[in-house]
Amino acid sequence: MKQQKQDALAMLKADHQQVLALFKDYEALSDRSKVSKQRLAGKICTELRVHAELEERLFYPAVRAQVDDDDLMDEALVEHAAAKDLIAQIEELDPEDDLYDARVKVLSEQIQHHVEEEEGPMFAKVRKAGIDLLALGTQMAELKQQLTGKS
């Protein structure tokens, strides 16, 4: 199946929307839905790991090379590190743990902030920088397929 070309920003935005929807689904679950919460939290963590890998290996280096804003890029990497730490904690915990939901909630809030930063200031600077977003999107789609086994 041949995949349709998508520019890098559209691809990242679609990933953002998907994971934010998963967080919403998580919050809609009742406190008794421990198995469903664990399954959904696992999916969120997997999606975020893949997304961070795409950004760190391909998107951020391309942006850093063309956009003169090291502070913005450094902040994005620090946000990734904080999210990865929380992801590791969530993956190690049992959903019965008192702080399980709190960790998922804090991760949700961190990701919401990260998305706002990326889709606002960062994406605006990327658009102005003249980066070949279709070529970058193609590279990212290929890496995503390698990481997930799906397109």
Handedness of CA 27, 97, 44, 72 (dihedral sign): positive
What percent of the chain has a predicted confidence (pLDDT) above 70? Answer: 96
3-class SS of residue 54: helix
Structural domain span for residue 12: 8-148
Mean pLDDT of 58-66: 95
Q: How many domains does the chain have?
A: 1
Roughly how many angstroms between the first and final C-alpha of the chain, as a whole number? Answer: 9
Q: Which residue has the higher pLDDT, 5 or 129?
A: 129
Per-residue pLDDT for 151 more than 70? no
C-alpha 8/C-alpha 59 separation (Å) is 8
Identity (one letter) of the amino acid at 60?
Answer: Y
| 59 occurs within a structural domain | yes
Q: Residue 52: how many CA atoms within 13 Å on its side-chain side?
A: 19
In this structure, is residue 2 part of a structural domain? no
Categorize the per-residue pLDDT at 3 as very low, low, confident or very high, splitting at 50, 70 and 90.
Answer: low
Residue range 71-128, pLDDT digits in tens: 999 999 999 999 999 999 999 999 999 899 999 999 999 999 999 999 999 999 999 9
Q: Give pTM, 2 decimals.
A: 0.91
Following DSSP, what letter does each residue of 83-146 receive, concatenated?
A: HHHHHHHHHHS-TTSTTHHHHHHHHHHHHHHHHHHIIIIIHHHHHHHT--HHHHHHHHHHHHHH
